[in-house]
Amino acid sequence: MHEQLIKSIQDKITLSPEEIEKVKHFYIPKKIRKRQYLLNAGDVCQYIAFVEKGLLRSFTVDNDGGEHVIQFALEGWLIGDMSSFLSGDEATYNIEALEDAELLLLSKPSMEDMLHTVPKMETYFRILMQNHIVALNRRVISSMSDTAEQKYLKLMNNCPGIVNRASQQNIASFLGITPETLSRIRKQVAQK
């Protein structure tokens, strides 16, 4: 049940077996079914979710009712509205399961406890934050300067799992292009 979490942590820092046991107990396991929401925009984000299994998306809905996929999360990824979680403000994102999923939830009090009892986890979260910012910066540049095809190919290289498992609509929204354009691109790419 915690394999992915432990792998993710040991990837970045070294913990003793006892520390690992302690860390585990701060997370609450939760299963959630396809199409269920983990968070609704407007609520406060109570939990950061680590994905053990499954696929989720976070997205916003703009004034015209258009959805914009902010992020996908599959096995080994974190998802949540960080800003709402840390500040206690209303969330601006929705989070929905695209597949049946097994999650490990971390509440804010648990997180604080955990950082207190296993201080090395500070480093773990700092690295996650840092990687997230780097990824966001890359995405900004890509969305501004790459063609639709380049964006798609980069996603295929970096996250083949997402391309295979998410619907084209969601992928298109994530890439900032229309589903029709994505369909045509896939056709072209396949012919090579």
Partner DNA sequence: CGCGGGTTTGATGATGCTCAAGCCCGGTGG
Partner DNA sequence: CCACCGGGCTTGAGCATCATCAAACCCGCG
Residues of this chain that bind its own copies (CB under 8 A): 60, 62, 66, 68, 70, 82-83, 86-87, 126-127, 129-130, 132-134, 136-137, 139-141, 143-145, 175-176
Decide which of DNA, its own copies, none touches 155; Cβ closer than 5 to 8 Å per partner kind: none
Q: Treating both helix axes as pointing N-terminal to C-terminal, what angle do 148-158 and 120-145 enclose, rounded to 10 degrees?
A: 150
CB 129 within 8 A of CB 81: no
Structure tokens at 23: 């860390």
Tell whether residue 130 is a contact of DNA (CB under 7 A). Answer: no
Decide which of DNA, its own copies, none touches 130; Cβ closer than 5 to 8 Å per partner kind: its own copies
Decide which of DNA, its own copies, none touches 140; Cβ closer than 5 to 8 Å per partner kind: its own copies
Tell whether residue 30 is a contact of DNA (CB under 7 A). Answer: no
The sheet carrying 37-39 orders its strands as 37-39, 94-97, 55-61, 67-74
Q: How far apart are CA 33 and CA 68, in angstroms?
A: 22
Tell whether residue 187 is a contact of DNA (CB under 7 A). Answer: yes
Phi, psi (rounded to 5 degrees) for 83 = -65, -45
- Which of 37, 123, 168, 189 binds DNA (CB under 7 A)? It is 168
* Amino acid at site 156: M
Closer residue to its own copies in complex, CB, 137/168: 137
Smallest separation, CB 102 to its own copies (Å):
26
Decide which of its own copies, DNA, none touches 147; Cβ closer than 5 to 8 Å per partner kind: DNA
Decide which of DNA, its own copies, none touches 70; Cβ closer than 5 to 8 Å per partner kind: its own copies
Closer residue to DNA in complex, CB, 123/188: 188
Tell whether residue 123 is a contact of DNA (CB under 7 A). Answer: no
Tell whether residue 48 is a contact of DNA (CB under 7 A). Answer: no
- Element housing 107 (H / E): strand 101-107
Q: In 3-state terms, what secondary structure has residue 166? A: coil
Paired with 70 in beta bridges are none
Q: How far apart are CA 191 and CA 96, in angstroms?
A: 34
Q: How far apart are CA 113 and CA 108, in angstroms?
A: 9
Binding site for DNA (CB under 7 A): 147-149, 167-169, 176-184, 186-187
